[in-house]
Structure 1
């Protein structure tokens, strides 16, 4: 099957329209603007998603603002109970949510369940919020004076999430922001919006008050509305680097805290002593899982010779065993999210051929186990990719795995460090000294040692370096708690009514106060 196959036609006028979640209920849109949402495995639009007007944006933000005072003042214990309840509901109904993910994104059911599990880790972290926002106390720092710190929520916060993880990425931010006492306006991707509405409804079932979570569907108009509103205190974003930079610059220009996670070009450095069977398994899993639509996908294997030929043979063998098709049929890899994205990813294979690389496995010829109109592209392996090629320098975001051959460890590290991105990387070796040297030398935010997708667990934090992260704050973990709260330091003195001499307040003294 070629990438030029057109999707089946659909009369979008008869399709249901996905609206917004405002004040604890699903609200139909009044904007008159919509965009089709596709089932990628069928290649047909199954619904329309509303694209918010400025009036709807203002209404959504106003709802979150109105809900903030009462939610901020609710006890930590009651917030904690809601997070516990949501955790149980999420675990109970995760199969239903996985079906929603697969129907709009295309990833296979097992991968969708894995995405939910990683998001649930952050929900579980948020249940311990009382201990995460504890302040500090120092008694008698000066005579009769104590100092303590407290953390308080920001107010209304905005979250803008990408299409590739419609559940996990929102759950990187929502549980921490909400448990810390903020109200949230979530703008999900217009490509797969339904999972966000599901989350909002289930949080309501768990006891979350109306207005604490708002789901605002839309396009750039909605994004800009959040970035420029004076009532939104912070923005959390995950997406491509150009948009991440735009979000960061626009948000900070309007006085907001911004954490903007951008794109990636993740390398796997393979040393000659590595277990090549482990490497091949890891390269296939990390390169082709979720059809390569992961910011932590391995897209470049950097092979320190003489291992490349043997490794490529093992990868080819494993790639040939993968079943590509509809994620609801028990396949290993599903379609790409849209026809346009599939065609863009496939175009890089032609670029590779023009640049003199060797296409070892060509995903354009895949025969899928699915509807012929699906947005299919099979696993693709390209050897001897020039580092000047766009195939090497650009984030492809699809099932295209490149191989670059180098002579030494030093050459491989230099190659990784010279790139524009610094999201994730991995080294495969049985040499502990080399691994320890790598983790010190490489200029990347997340590192795997014999682990291909080093996404940190929830109590650490996720984020890269260079053009993979704009702003100083990473996602979830302690960084997330700090981002969604402000710290106050309080210096306190209480006079002792039993002290008749006045020594507890020291009298008039125009000198600068000291802690004596």
Structure 2
């Protein structure tokens, strides 16, 4: 059976902890590989590798670091098919979705290619008599990323692309459910010209996470995952003196006003709710039609579109989505479907018990639709993370606005309307971090920034864009004076700029 090892100092590091995890093929339900799970000693080996590489990499000028990013981008594009098939075989996404995962990560790498401009400081000439003041951004040192299973290419690149370009060295702890693509990305980074130790991959579970949190040489941690774990990493990481950005869960709403183009809304909803089997923190699992007529019309149009969805194996080019990542997650999603029916929501389409001929042991969940969902239901309050769409009816604009604003999560939201004034007011007032106007999945482009509010994010800095540059650098400010002639008497007062 294939063994997936750690990747440290530009080569495989054979796991010595004695612990391994199974890596499944979600299409068949079969174990296809075993991944080494790191202990504190192996995390330390990755950190020491990064620490050794840091001084030389930090001293490399930004333009040369950018050239490595350019070369890495080209190598990822050259190996796109290999990476997409590898990703799909462990995650379950269809190939087209896997390529999208990789491409969205590459967009952050493209942003990182312009890092010389992003690292320019500020300069004030003549701040005082003969005194100039300037600032510079410098890397932190060894930083770490802990990434989820649902985007094993995109989210690691979101993190290490900006971190490495700004002069840091990186330790990545990817999900143990689909670990192969992160290792392959690290290999390509070395092939692109990054020195050994600049990007290291250590696999693991909570033991590895706790070792990262506790390690004194790790200066910052970036995390994406569930809210409970995000809060755990944020609170313990900051208690250990680290910078932490920790992105959590979501329950994104799509508000549909009566004037919306329902044909387009239905297409957008089906893709946003069921694409990637709903395993996206920016999926759209709740739709809020405003008014009874809007709700009834939307439901009537949704049902045939849902019934046309093709669920298939990852390599089926005609499939809209594939299996979920694991048997445990399949059972969790199906338990939520049962709970929703028990809570009193109308189960319009039930995806439980879905079987694909020839792949009966695969982790498939059929498309599910609920109507008449209410705020007190657990299935509304909690993140299901599966191919489940809930219709939650609102009487008016204010009621629809309140639903995402008052929810515990505040990652993303969308509004569908032809009314520019209503859309503008909604975008200004809604208590959510990312807003789409007639855009169902409002993930910002790479040179903007990604981050939610409330229990969807912990920390003061968002992912990628200039927020990412700020997170992975510290500002040093220099006040300089070059006096003429002899140095005068010693001054014992704080300097001023009179």
Which whole-Å CA distance do the structure 1 matches of 2:40 and 2:463 have between them?
28
Q: Secondary structure at the match of 2:92?
A: coil
* Cα deviations by residue, 1:266-311 (Å, 9 ceiling, x for unpaired): 0001111111011111110100000000000001101111211111
Asked if structure 2 preserves the Cα contact closer than 8 Å seen for 1:187 and 1:218, the reply is yes
Q: How far apart are the structure 2 equivalents of 1:29 and 1:496?
A: 62
1:58 aligns with 2:44: yes
Equivalent position to 2:449, from 458, 461, 464: 461
Name the CA distance, whole Å, in 1 between partners of 2:472 and 2:395.
46
Q: Residues 370 and 422 (structure 1 numbering): CA distance in 2 closer, same or farther, change over 3 Å?
A: farther
Residue matched to 2:165: 179
Structure 1 residue 315 displacement after superposition: 1.3
| 1:54–1:225 CA contact under 8 A, matched in 2 | yes
C-alpha separation between the residues in 2 aligned to 1:118 and 1:173? 12
1:319 aligns with 2:306: yes
Structure 1 equivalent of residue 495 of structure 2: 513
Partners of 1:217 and 1:169 in 2: CA distance: 15
SS at match of 1:140: strand
After TM superposition, the runs of 4+ consecutive aligned structure 1 residues lying more than 6 A away are none
Per-residue deviation, 1:420: 0.4
Instruction: Give a deviation string over 1:107-145, Cα, whole Å, max 9, x none.
Output: 000000111111000000001000001001111111011
- TM, length-normalised to structure 1: 0.95
Q: Gaps spanning 5+ residues in structure 1: where? A: 1-14
Partner of 2:416: 428
Q: Which residue of 1 aligns with 2:5?
A: 19
C-alpha distance in 1 between matches for 2:270 and 2:424: 25
Q: Is contact 1:323-1:368 (8 Å) kept? A: no
1:48-447 alignment to 2 at 5 Å? 48-305=34-291, 306-330=293-317, 331-368=319-356, 371-447=359-435
Q: State the distance in 1 between where 2:68 and 2:495 align.
A: 45
Alignment of 1:485-504 (within 5 A): 485-497=473-485
TM-score (norm 2): 0.98
- Cα displacement (A) at 1:514: 1.7
SS at match of 1:302: strand
Shift, 1:349, TM fit: 1.2
Match of 1:9 in 2: none
Is the CA contact 1:324–1:369 (under 8 Å) kept in the aligned structure 2?
A: no
SS of the counterpart of 2:315? helix
**Hey, what's the Cα distance between the residues in 1 that align with 2:258 and 2:488?**
73
Q: List alignment gaps of at least 5 residues for structure 2.
A: none
2:121 is paired with a residue whose SS is coil
Worse-superposed segment, 342-351 or 52-61: 52-61
- Residue 424 of structure 1, CA deviation: 0.1
Aligned length: 496
Would you say the 8 A contact 1:355–1:386 is kept in 2? Answer: no
Taking the aligned partners of 1:293 and 1:370, their CA distance within structure 2 comes to 24
Residues in 2 aligned to 1:370 and 1:199: alpha-carbon distance in whole angstroms: 33
Task: Give per-residue Cα distances to partners, 1:204-245, cap 9 Å, x unaligned.
Answer: 111111000000011111101111100000000000000000
CA distance in 2, matches of 1:213, 1:354: 48
- In the TM superposition, residue 27 of structure 1 has moved relative to its aligned partner by 1.8
Deviation for aligned residue 1:151: 0.5
Deviation at 1:439, TM superposition (A): 0.4
After superposition, the C-alpha distances for 1:60-119 in whole angstroms (9 at most, x for unaligned) are 111111111111111222211111101111111111100011000000000001111110
Shift of 1:508: 5.0
CA contact (8 A) 1:361 1:379 kept: yes
CA distance in 2, matches of 1:482, 1:121: 18
Offset of residue 510 of structure 1: 4.3
* Match of residue 20 from structure 2: 34
The answer on whether the counterparts of 2:39 and 2:211 sit within 8 Å (CA) in structure 1 is: no
CA drift at 1:357: 1.0
Aligned in 2, Cα 1:18/1:481: closer, same or farther, shift over 3 Å? same
